[in-house]
Amino acid sequence: MIANFLIIYFAFSLFLVGICKKYNLLVDNKIEKHKKYSSNLKCYSIGGILLIFFLSYYFIFISKNYTFLLFLFSIFSIGLFSDLKKIHSVSYRFFLQIILTIFFVYVMKTQIISTKVVFFDQLLENNFVNILFVTFCITILINGVNFIDGLNGLAIKYHLIIYLVITIFFSEFVFENQLINYMVVVLFILLIFNLSGYLYLGDSGSYVLSLFTGVFLIEFSNVNPAISPYFIIVLLWYPCFELLFSMIRRFLKKKETYKPDTNHLHQQFFKFISKNLKIKNKLAEHIVVSLGINLYNLFSILISVNFIYNSEVLILILFINIFFYISTFYFLKRKNY
């Protein structure tokens, strides 16, 4: 069944790329400065369409979870309007994300049950506080993934690592194995087209992918309370910290915290690779940078797998990751100027 799905989904993806190419649809011309680091080939912001197509099929015909699908489709719509340049304001998109997330978290009764911190867990017993905290976590993840989507392969590889680790090491813990197996296939196909320079996740794709992953991992943690919640944080630390660090960095420099720039870690790494390795093929540079960053994340996650019940070790790994990120960022920044 998986093999048949792979062939059908690949053929549909190829067909959609062909349609966009023929009729010049959903072209991302990379006018914005921060997008100059992505492939200079003409590519199409159809990653979100391909994702929502698969998720619609699954949640309508298999799991029949219409509420979650409506949540995913609502976030997808915000991203799609952004991709189509119908919503230009970053703050307006962020406002819409918050309102939608609060509403659906309340309706779906999505909760973070435990943080292993007694005082905070007592606060989370209040439904209103819990809704706000879940909303905060989801919106941080959504926008963090959108930040790292500026480089071909980076965001998709990162999520592919998460789902492969879950599939390989936690199949007995997962409540929907079929869904995760299909998601691995979908991400693998999207990665092929993304690294080829034909497909771009865009805001719609990064929003849908990160929202799905965030809600799935919250439920995964709730269903498996013995697993430390800090393992989930280690799985998602990179895009979340990318956003938080970028906002702090901009705030200290008295810049608008929500405006895109070209000083993210992956962009500094890209500048360093371009300057020192002098790789002529831009897509090859993307592969090197996205592979380098994700190999570190894979290494961190694989270590964490051995300590899924030990919050103290997982917190230590998290701090090591943050230290490594900051050290690498400033090292690359010095080398680039």
The predicted structure's pLDDT at residue 263: 87
Q: With a cut of 70, say whether residue 249 has pLDDT above it.
A: yes
Q: With a cut of 60, say whether residue 38 has pLDDT above it.
A: no
Helix axes 127-148, 229-252, angle to 10 degrees: 70
Please give the Cα distance from 41 to 180 (Å, whole number).
31
The predicted structure's pLDDT at residue 161: 98
CA distances (Å), origin 246, targets 129, 146, 170, 240, 269: 26, 13, 32, 10, 15
Q: With a cut of 70, say whether residue 282 has pLDDT above it.
A: yes
Instruction: Calculate the average pLDDT of the chain.
Output: 91
For residues 192-209, average pLDDT = 92
Q: With a cut of 90, say whether residue 203 has pLDDT above it.
A: yes
Please give the Cα distance from 224 to 170 (Å, whole number).
10
CA distances (Å), origin 256, targets 98, 253, 296: 19, 9, 30
Q: How much of the chain is helix, strand and coil, in % rounded to 5?
A: 75, 0, 25
CA distances (Å), origin 151, targets 30, 81, 234, 255, 264: 12, 21, 22, 23, 11
The predicted structure's pLDDT at residue 51: 97
For residues 223-247, average pLDDT = 96
Q: Sorting pLDDT into bands at 50, 70 and 90, what band is 29? A: low
Task: Tell which wins on pLDDT, 254 or 100.
Answer: 100
Q: Could you tell me the two tokens for 252?
A: 């200290």
Q: Count other C-beta atoms under 10 Å from residue 334's C-beta.
A: 9
Contact of 151 with 289, CB cutoff 8 Å: yes
For residues 100-126, average pLDDT = 96
Task: Tell which wins on pLDDT, 328 or 263.
Answer: 328
pLDDT tens string 41-57: 578 889 999 999 999 99
Q: List all residues 6 or more positions away from 193 whose beta carbon is below 8 Å from its beta carbon.
A: 13, 17, 199
pLDDT tens string 1-26: 788 888 999 999 999 999 998 988 88
The predicted structure's pLDDT at residue 275: 87
Q: Could you tell me the two tokens for 222?
A: 């709730």
Contact of 110 with 215, CB cutoff 8 Å: yes
pLDDT tens string 299-317: 999 999 999 999 999 999 9
Please give the Cα distance from 221 to 235 (Å, whole number).
12
Q: With a cut of 80, say whether residue 261 has pLDDT above it.
A: no
For residues 163-186, average pLDDT = 93
Q: List all residues 6 or more positions away from 251 whose beta carbon is below 8 Å from its beta carbon.
A: 257
Q: List all residues 6 or more positions away from 164 whose beta carbon is below 8 Å from its beta carbon.
A: 184
Q: Count other C-beta atoms under 10 Å from residue 248's C-beta.
A: 11
In sequence order, the β-bridge partners of residue 199 are 44
The predicted structure's pLDDT at residue 257: 65
Q: Could you tell me the two tokens for 83?
A: 């991709």
Please give the Cα distance from 161 to 158 (Å, whole number).
5
Please give the Cα distance from 335 to 337 (Å, whole number).
6
pLDDT tens string 206-226: 999 999 999 999 999 999 999
For residues 319-323, average pLDDT = 98
Task: Tell which wins on pLDDT, 195 or 68.
Answer: 68
Task: Tell which wins on pLDDT, 244 or 196.
Answer: 244
* Nearest residue to 152 via CA among 27, 293, 257, 50: 293
